[in-house]
Structure 1
């Protein structure tokens, strides 16, 4: 035991082993972050003092925001939601004379590389994650990076975040379809294919099922279609729904882009919206207005700006008034939803 004390090789894992806790807990305790009881925090600090464990000078400089750099991380940059939010985060940070590093980490392999390489190669003062799907071990690595972390457009662990209430988004969309009289309501969702947790997808799926249950409707598993994240998700999801013996009369799509893909497939199949299929999306994509797509609009720009300011506040040492900010949404009704049973509609087909 005494051999460890004062050793220049002491690291956070040694403190964690002595305390009988995870390295993530040690990290939180030494940085006075929430999620650790006061008793455990004091015990960890006492062990760190006993072992003469100190944060490296480089880590200390990072904690003070010495590099002037902030990383923005998104799974995709060619999707409207991510590119719009990224632009708004970057605008706020650049106005504050911060250098911005942008990382696209699509899939587990790229995420692993990011978490592994960033601390060693390109030091930053903070990381802003834009709706990034993560696995639990990646959440723990984030905790150990020694920099401030802010989540935009979603929720990861206990990190400060700016988001919408994705559960309520789904309840609003499906509730609108129920009020129109629809009883066969499907959802086309997208999911990260490596099994990572994606808060927006998980909460919208949960809200869809809850809204059906609240209306006394059974949730047909065939109506909850999961497609790989990508530009064909909406079209391929709608194709699957139309192959059912009893297709739905309305579809709630995970996003406006997914809904627009579904819309395109309906047109190609010679079906009319909303006479033969009602369709509603999420986001407030500018193209949705051109197509007359009903949507639950979330202020993507506002979420991005708030997340950028939150990162700056953390680096300046200012106390966050609210670590978990929820931005309101609203239902924008256009021409893609209508009551079922219109002449020639799918509701009048056999079955």
Structure 2
């Protein structure tokens, strides 16, 4: 027969209400009493229904993730990071991956009936002021990952995309490159903002550096980045000697496509990526490493703190990035 709350109370020598509080309001029970109740509950294989606890607390034990775009390397690591923290706490998370404007509008229109989360984590999603206000109106904590305006969130963790791309540019300039291109995705929807931050950082620094010509080349959504790179290199009388690519998944195909046209990496062209994602090390891609899994784990802990009425030790964090020097960059040919 399954043990009841009365069985636990009798063996622990406490009241039924104390057993209930040990599970639902532990802050109202002494640490010694709570440990005793939990030990007895474990011995009797007793557990409190999570749905009952949720109902009593007015909680859902669910955290919502709002993300822009399809699932890719970055967002997959975000999911891993959230799960690494939330799984052991009994929290689930719901994923709202917004891929187009109609879906976006529908999500925010239905917010009033979506009060089914205790917090929301917004990852690489460029919120408008009105959308931010709508989220705050839900009355639950909002945590940002790679947020445009961290101050609009209760807590956030982001990398500095502008500074990160400039690390790569300075590396190329130090090698002697003076004609540098940057391949980035043309903005077709304000779902993500990293692309804008990086291209801005690239052009600003190239403009500031004497003798450096920076060319930003937008790749339309759906176009082949490798084809754009080849066209750029073969159509210009003085083509760039180095190319920064918005993300590793775009840069890696260049290692296989460019040699078909007699362009060798890094002899004829230095190539950099961004992320340090899968296969970057294997192909020898110089890139900037960011750690979305760690950022998501931090965001999850922030969300749990806020749900439980605690202020995170650091509310707004700039996550570090690291330059990963590999064989895809070298000094330009004389």
The question of a shared fold, defined as TM-score above 0.5 by the shorter chain, is answered with yes
2:144 alignment partner, one of 139, 151, 155: 151
| Equivalence for 2:160 | 165
Say whether the 8 Å CA contact 2:68–2:192 is kept in structure 1.
Answer: no
Given the alignment, which residue of 304, 318, 333 partners 1:312?
304
Partner of 1:140: 133
Any idea what the Cα deviations from partners look like across 1:217-238, whole Å, max 9, x if unmatched? 4555xx20122455x5532441
- Deviation of 1:65 after TM superposition, in Å, equals 6.2
One of 274, 280, 283 as aligned partner of 1:291: 283
Q: Which residue of 2 aligns with 1:115?
A: 108
Name the SS of the counterpart of 1:112 in structure 2.
helix
Task: Give the structure 1 partner of residue 71 of structure 2.
Answer: 78
Query: Which one of 208, 226, 235 corresponds to residue 235 of structure 1?
Result: 226
TM-score by length of 1: 0.72
* CA offset digits 1:242-275 (Å, max 9, x no partner): 2334321101111111222444432343311111
CA contact (8 A) 1:119 1:145 kept: yes
SS of match in other structure, 1:70: strand
Residue 212 of structure 1 contacts residue 219 of structure 1 at CA under 8 Å; is this kept in 2? yes
Distance 1:93 1:236 in 2: 42
Shift of 1:336: 0.4
* Distance change (3 Å), C-alpha of 1:322 and 1:237: farther
C-alpha distance in structure 1 between counterparts of 2:208 and 2:90, whole Å: 49
Any gaps of 5 or more consecutive residues in structure 1? Answer: 1-60, 343-351
Per the alignment, residue 205 of structure 1 pairs with 199
Aligned partners of 2:248, 2:274: CA distance in 1, in Å?
A: 5
Per-residue deviation at 1:191? 4.2
Matches within 5 A, 1:160-309: 160-194=155-189, 196=190, 198-217=192-211, 219=213, 223-229=215-221, 232=223, 234-242=225-233, 243-309=235-301
User: Quick one: distance in 2 between partners of 1:261 and 1:136?
Assistant: 38
Against the structure 1 CA distance between its residues 137 and 261, is the aligned structure 2 distance closer, same or farther, given a 3 Å change threshold? Answer: farther
Distance apart, 1:84 and its partner CA: 1.1
Q: 1:300 to 1:229 in 2, by over 3 A?
A: farther
Query: Larger Cα Rg: Structure 1 or Structure 2?
Result: 2
- C-alpha deviations, 1:148-204, integer Å up to 9, x for none? 21111333452121111111101100000000000000111124412x274322221
Structure 1 distance, partners of 2:273, 2:221, is: 15
Equivalent of 1:336 in 301, 317, 328: 328
CA distance in 2, matches of 1:284, 1:224: 21
Structure 2 unaligned regions, length at least 5: 1-53
Figure out how many residues of one structure are paired with residues of the other and give that number: 277
CA 238–155 in structure 1, closer or farther in 2 if over 3 Å, else same: same
C-alpha distance in 1 between matches for 2:218 and 2:60: 42
Question: Per-residue deviation at 1:83?
Answer: 0.8
Q: Secondary structure at the match of 2:252?
A: helix
RMSD: 2.4
Give the direction of change, closer, same or farther, for the CA distance of 1:290–1:218 in structure 2 (3 Å limit).
Answer: closer
**Which 4+ residue blocks in structure 1 deviate beyond 4 angstroms?**
none
How far residue 316 of structure 1 moved from its aligned partner, in angstroms, is: 0.8
